């Protein structure tokens, strides 16, 4: 499979290239980053001591002829690549987080023409956790306060994390609540008592934390905590490559990691 990596000089880009070079079923078709990236013009394998013949470029023409494009960048960049993938009929794996509802609807629209896996967390463990949270919320839908706590490294630009939001949505779905009505993103000052239906979020930022997520169900006399801790970006990269393979020969549509792992 011919794979394009955009954002190839970023943290996730590095992990993706490492995964592609280690997988004999995948070929790096192109590696793109911003026009002002210092890596433009260098061989994409340089940092791994490899000569691949694929030079890091900002030229979107390089996408032509690929099977799938993997995007871990920023929402504005992802949408730019989305329209190019649509035009070139290239499938897309979108791992970028921080999209607005309007931007998400553009992804939904594009999936009428191309196959897209869109997931704020590509790890197998978090995908399973999402299912566990939904199941737990179904049982603990009364008398238990639901809170989502997440921690990430100091460079993360969006909060709460896309994964935390996804876990909150899963909890809301399990508990039979409208997520947009019950999500509570911050508390400060005299907040009053906790609304029983609310699903609260707490965000920690610091150091090099790859990504920790806990969903807490706090009742009277007991607490249940469902936790996932990522210790390396390889977990996201391997999941994204699995998603890329899943899209091979798939008709257009919007999929997430639950589809990829057949957890539906």
Cα angle, residue 232 at apex, residues 8 and 79 outer, rounded to 5°: 35
Q: Is 160 in the site for ligand NAD (CB under 6 A)?
A: no
Nearest-approach distance from CB 33 to ligand NAD, in angstroms: 4
Counting residues that bind ligand NAD (by CB under 6 A) gives 24
**Cα–Cα distance, 16 to 32 (Å, whole number):** 12
Least Cα distance to 143 among 225, 227, 223 occurs for 223
Q: Does 121 bind ligand NAD (CB under 6 A)?
A: yes
Burial per residue of 178-196, b for 16 or more beta-carbon CB atoms within 10 angstroms, e otherwise: eeeebbeeeeeeeeeeeee
Alpha helices in the chain (DSSP H): 11-21, 75-88, 101-110, 124-139, 162-175, 179-182, 234-246, 257-260
Q: Does the protein bind ligand NAD through residue 72 (CB under 6 A)?
A: yes
Please say if 152 is a catalytic residue: yes
Kindly state whether residue 119 participates in binding ligand NAD, applying the rule CB under 6 A: yes
What tokens were used for 256? 């997430």
> Which residues lie across from 30 on neighbouring strands?
4
Q: Of the candidates 3, 4, 5, 6, which one interacts with ligand NAD according to CB under 6 A?
A: 6
Distance separating alpha carbons of residues 150 and 154, to the nearest angstrom: 13
Pattern 198-237, binding to ligand NAD, x per CB under 6 A? --------------------------------------x-
Q: How far is the CB of 111 from ligand NAD (least distance, A)?
A: 17
26, 69, 92, 122: which one binds ligand NAD (CB under 6 A): 122
Catalytic residues: 152, 156
Which residues would be at the binding site for ligand NAD (CB under 6 A)? 6-7, 9-13, 32-34, 37, 72-74, 77, 95-98, 119-122, 236
């Amino acid at each position: 499979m011919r794979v394009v990596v955009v954002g190839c000089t970023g943290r996730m880009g590095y992990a993706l290239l490492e995964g592609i070079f280690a997988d004999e079923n995948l070929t790096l078709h192109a590696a793109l980053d911003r026009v002002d990236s210092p890596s433009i013009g260098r061989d994409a394998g340089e940092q791994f001591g490899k000569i691949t013949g694929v030079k890091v470029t900002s030229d979107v023409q390089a996408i032509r002829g690929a099977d799938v494009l993997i995007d871990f960048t920023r929402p504005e960049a992802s949408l730019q690549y989305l329209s190019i993938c649509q035009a070139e009929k290239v499938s897309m794996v979108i791992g970028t987080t921080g999209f607005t509802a309007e931007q998400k609807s553009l992804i939904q629209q594009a999936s009428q023409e191309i196959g897209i896996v869109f997931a704020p967390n590509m790890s197998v463990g978090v995908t399973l956790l999402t299912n566990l949270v939904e199941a737990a919320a179904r049982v603990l839908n009364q008398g238990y306060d639901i809170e989502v706590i997440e921690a990430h490294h100091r460079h993360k630009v969006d909060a709460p994390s896309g994964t935390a939001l996804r876990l909150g949505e899963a909890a809301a779905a399990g508990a039979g609540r409208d997520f947009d009505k019950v999500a509570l993103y911050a508390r400060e000052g005299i907040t009053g008592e906790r609304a029983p239906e609310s699903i609260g979020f707490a965000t920690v930022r610091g150091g090099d934390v790859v990504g920790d997520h806990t969903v807490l169900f706090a009742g009277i006399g007991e607490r249940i905590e469902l936790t996932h801790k990522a210790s390396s970006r390889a977990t996201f990269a391997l999941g994204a490559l699995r998603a890329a393979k899943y899209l091979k020969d798939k008709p257009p549509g919007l999929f997430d990691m639950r589809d990829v792992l057949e957890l539906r």
